[in-house]
Structure 1
Amino acid sequence: MNPNQVVQVRKPKLMALVLMIGAFIGLFSETALNMALTNIMEQFSISAAQVQWLTTGYLLTLGVFVPISAFLIKWFSTKKLVSAALIFSILGSLIGALAPNFEILLIARIIQALGTGLLLPLLMNVVLLIFPINKRGVVMGLMGLVITTAPAVGPTVAGIIVDLLDWSYIFWLSLALYLLLFIFGLKLIENVSTLTKPKIDIFSIFLSTIGFGTLIFSLSSLAENAFATQIVLIPLIVGILAILLFTIRQLKMPQPMLNLTVFKYPMFTLGTLHLFIGMLLILSTAILLPMYLKSSLLYSAAIAGLIMLPGSALNAVFGPVVGKLFDKLGPTRLLPIGFTLTTIGSVLFILTVKEDASFASIMLSNMVFFSGIAFIIMPAQTNGMNQLPRELYADGSAIANTLQQIAGAAGTAVAITLLMKGESNFLENNLHASIEQSVAAGTNFAFYFTLIISVIGLISSFFVKKVKV
């Protein structure tokens, strides 16, 4: 079959839309609880380091499950996998809405993440199969919009819900949307994947689960433990060794669970790096700003959400525009613009994040920052995937999505770690400082991380070449 041949479906746009809405709800759920973390801490009497597991636990599950998805796509039909994904998502949302304690709430988040972990790679794989390459820019632009807007808009919507109702209604909202999608959207899904049914390699699944799971666990444990402690160091070493063994095994197998030869394609490798950096930036900011706005500036959840809304709105506006520009200009001009804007946004955050910062200054910084994100995710992802041959789409999609989840977990964990480190440094020198001052100092310190990462992204963006298909 010609690698550029499109799989014919009756309504490709509607089919892609159903998957995009499912992914949007899942990624919305990823960060929506961030605005309610302080409320959950009070209700269940837990610390900031414990409550962050509602975000990192979600990411941990995605990091473990997404690599397996490339294998599942080759074994089960598209419709069966979408059905399973929606059932997991519905069940997780229902348990979360009714959760009587923190442990049950965490289990609900893990079940939710199983649904999202199936939907994300499916979305990318299906889009690559049902749209011709000359129309991918616009469609992938909309997909990039889903990936970036959903985590960004989550805290805004959740903030209003938390103030007007209760954090459990975040789950009720997700449940209602998933049920509508299951009832009305599932009939639009058609089977498009080629089922090769490769041999099940239990050892590969074991190594993948242990490797990615312990790596994300280690990163998440950094929030309340020093790097040299056993709870951080041992899982980190185990994770790196397991991923190394997993990599060696995949390269030697005739039918690997995850085909790592995708990294022989330089633009895919560079595109995945930029995706990784993009998700680091999104998730670290998505957890830092709500905590700062509520704990330091003492805004309500709704007001904090509204401050973040224009940044999300700009990101949404630029998404489709960037998609069209990509088809005309390619990634070489767009990516440097994106990383320049996130660099400027990070500098603005460092200059403005204080205990007496104005409403407008934080809003402006966030608008500049998230405008940049719109120019990063889609061009990086599309250019990278365009270089892969058709038979590697599922593997490339699974790898890109796995690394995004690891980036999310790392971004969340590092952001919280630096926030707490910045707070303790400030309190050592200012013994009588208020909580508001220490949280502001900690947040300010953490934004140096987004600045460094943005600069790395900016430098590497100049090595990108447009893929000739």
Structure 2
Amino acid sequence: MNKSENIQTNRTEDGGLPPRQRHMVLGIMMAGTTAACISQSMMIAALPTIMQEFLVGAGLAQLITTAYIFTLGLFSAMSAYLVSKLDARRLFFIAMVGFIVGCCASLFATNYPVLLASRLVQAIGAGILLPLIQVVALSVYPKSQYGKAMGIVGIIIGFAPAIGPAISGSIVDAWGWRAVFVALGTVSAVVTLLAIPFLPNVMRKPATHQRFDALSAVLFSFGAICLLAATACIEQSGWGVVAAASIALGAVLLFAFARRQLRIPNPLLKLSCFANRQFTVGLVLVLLGNLSFMAASIMVPLFVQDVQGASAAVSGLAILPGAVLLGFLNPITGRLLDSHGPWPLLVAGCALLLGGTLAFVACDAETPLWVVTVLYGVRICGVACLQMPMTAYASKQLSGDDVAQGTAIITSIRQISSALLSSVLIGIMALASSGDLGIDAHGFGVSFSILAALTIVGFVFGAVFLPKRRKASGRR
């Protein structure tokens, strides 16, 4: 009996692994996934420098972050198929190698298109790692502890991107933006080498064999790309024929994709999961939490640098306490979900988000930096109540092989929607500002006003459909 088979036989009666084994597996995979997660936001502090070096505006420059997240979401959609074909150990190493290759290409980029393309290569590796660690976490923990499992995974999914600007800000100020990729590539290579002798395969084999539907992948990818292209056009030149045509084509392709998923026996994304209303409600709240986090993590450092005139390092340090707070709160809010259900977290999360967001609307160049840091921390508390707990709540509604499909749906839609909407908000911020390359306080306030409105809508939606009492498990 090999090591992987031995781990499967050691599963407890409730389906999880013994604590020592689950901690070892998650520890190794979290170490590797951290680099991919932190890479989402590490270029935020470098945006002003890159804008100056390559002579691009804020709308185009931010694509190295939002397009990264977008590509991550596209490949997350294929994770359910990959999990059904390859074991977790092999997928982990394939993803890590791809991420390292992307870091090397970014290091030697000579122009902005090359830099952007190399970032997308990194995102492919991250697009495999991010849903993989969530599926593994749900595999090694029993369903009664899904909140705890997602809280632990949330330490890196939420915390790592949050500390990215602080770390990269110091690196950029000291050695330049290319040094960011030296650090990411080196850490990833070391983790990959150390994981070779210690990482077992813990995934159960799926009950059914899944075939890859290439047409679905094409429809989904090109439909989403059309929407991203439309947002880029709007950011650069406002509404026009090209933007409208891109949106129309993207909508048609995504409609054809959705229609096909409901008709074929082996869909790329099992959209029938949306028939479970509580899964759908949980996903909507996940989207609200992730958008609130990603948009602010890009816009606040830009505000500190462009409006308040601080350095990249200072802009990163301004949101660092919030990042630490998010890492601390994620396991706590996960346990609160297991013990009290989703309703108290919805109320607390939306209240904190709304309060912090409205306060940001009033910020200007004279706002003390400590106030910016406190307000960012308030919003992070709201994010911690929604992002990972609602991921766990949505996943808990599913069973069997649908868990991998549900994770793929949540991760892909979460990343793609956050990338698109963050791009739109940043574009609105830039268009509402008077600077040619930078932003001003008015544009910053306009974007946060929109975020406040979305928070209210999200709360009303959750208040109508979430159960007020805790349920032990989800129901169809």
- Name the structure 1 match of 2:311: 300
Which 10-residue stretch deviates more, 438-447 or 340-349? 438-447
Conserved? CA contact 2:91–2:128, under 8 Å: yes
Mark the CA change 1:39 to 1:206 in structure 2 (over 3 Å): closer, same or farther.
same
* 2:325 corresponds to 1:325: no
Q: Is the 8 A contact 1:56 1:220 kept in 2?
A: no
1:94/1:9 Cα in 2 relative to 1: closer, same or farther (>3 Å)? farther
Q: Is the deviation greater in 182-191 or in 388-397?
A: 182-191
- The SS at the match of 2:268 is coil
| Residue aligned with 1:354, SS | coil
**In the superposition, relative to structure 1, how do residues 208 and 8 fare at CA in structure 2: closer, same or farther (>3 Å)?**
farther
Aligned 8 A contact 1:5 1:132 in 2: yes
Q: 1:209-220 to 2 correspondence within 5 Å?
A: 209-220=221-232
Aligned to 1:270: 281
Once the 2 structures are TM-superposed, how far is the Cα of residue 71 of structure 1 from its aligned partner? 1.4
Q: Distance in 1 between matches of 2:395 and 2:201?
A: 22
In structure 2, how many angstroms separate the alpha carbons of the residues matched to 1:60 and 1:33? 15
Provide the rounded CA distance (Å) in 2 between the counterparts of 1:135 and 1:185: 26
Deviation at 1:190, TM superposition (A): 1.0
The aligned residue for residue 246 of structure 2 is: 235
Q: How far off its partner does 1:56 sit?
A: 2.4
Which residue of 2 is the match for residue 430 of structure 1?
Answer: none
Separation in 2 of the partners of 1:435 and 1:396?
40
Distance 1:2 1:285 in 2: 41
Consecutive unaligned residues of structure 1, counting only runs of 5 or more, are 428-433
CA distance in structure 2 between the aligned counterparts of 1:222 and 1:143, rounded to whole angstroms? 35
Per the alignment, do residues 200 and 411 of structure 1 end up closer, same or farther by CA in structure 2, a change over 3 Å counting? closer
SS in 2 for 1:223: helix
CA displacement at 1:162 relative to structure 2: 1.1
Offset at residue 191 of structure 1 (A)? 4.4
Report matched runs for 1:10-409 at 5 Å. 11-186=21-196, 187-195=198-206, 196-227=208-239, 229-351=240-362, 353-409=363-419
Cα deviations by residue, 1:269-289 (Å, 9 ceiling, x for unpaired): 011111111111111111111
Shift of 1:3: 11
What is the CA–CA distance in structure 2 between the aligned matches of 1:261 and 1:191, rounded to whole Å? 27
CA distance in 1 between counterparts of 2:415 and 2:17 reads 29
Instruction: Return closer, same or farther for 1:394/1:8 CA change in 2, 3 Å cut-off.
Output: farther
Whole-Å separation in 1 of the counterparts to 2:459 and 2:228: 26
**Count of paired positions:** 458
Tell whether the 8 Å contact from 1:284 to 1:414 is kept in structure 2 after alignment.
no
The structural deviation recorded for 1:369 is 0.8
What residue identity is the alignment partner of 1:190? Answer: N
The percent identity for this pair of structures is 27
2:460 is equivalent to residue 459 of structure 1: yes
Letter matched to residue 288 of structure 2? I
Deviation of the 1:367 alpha carbon = 1.2
How far has the Cα of 1:235 moved from its partner?
A: 2.0
Deviation of 1:398 after TM superposition, in Å, equals 0.6
Quote the residue 1:431 is aligned against.
none
Q: Report the aligned-residue RMSD.
A: 2.2
Give distance in 1, aligned partners of 2:40 and 2:278. 28
Runs of 4+ more than 4 Å apart: 1-4, 7-10
Q: How does 1:379-458 map to 2 (within 5 A)?
A: 379-424=389-434, 439-458=440-459
2: CA distance between counterparts of 1:2 and 1:266? Answer: 30
Q: Which amino acid aligns with 2:466?
A: V
Give the drift of 1:457.
2.1
Q: Secondary structure at the match of 2:46?
A: helix
Deviation at 1:50, TM superposition (A): 2.0
Cα deviation per residue 1:320-358 (whole Å; 9 max; x = unaligned)? Answer: 22122222112111121011101000011012x212111
**CA 1:175 to 1:467, structure 2 compared with 1: closer, same or farther past 3 Å?**
farther
Larger displacement relative to structure 2 (61-70 or 118-127): 61-70
Per the alignment, in what secondary structure is the counterpart of residue 34 of structure 1? coil
Q: Which residue of 1 aligns with 2:4?
A: none
How far residue 121 of structure 1 moved from its aligned partner, in angstroms, is 1.3
Compute the displacement of 1:11 (Å): 2.0
1:9/1:115 CA distance change after superposition, 3 Å = farther
- Deviation of 1:219 after TM superposition, in Å, equals 3.0
Q: Does the 8 Å contact 2:60/2:232 carry over to 1?
A: no
**Structure 2 Cα separation of the partners of residues 283 and 146 of structure 1:** 14
Contact 2:235 2:431 in 1 (8 A): no
- Matched with 2:3 is none
Counterpart amino acid of 1:154? Answer: G
Distance 1:14 1:267 in 2: 32
Query: Per the alignment, in what secondary structure is the counterpart of residue 128 of structure 1?
Result: helix
- Secondary structure of the 1:204 match is helix
Contact 1:3 1:390 (C-alpha < 8 Å) held by counterparts? no
Pairwise CA distance, 1:361? 1.6
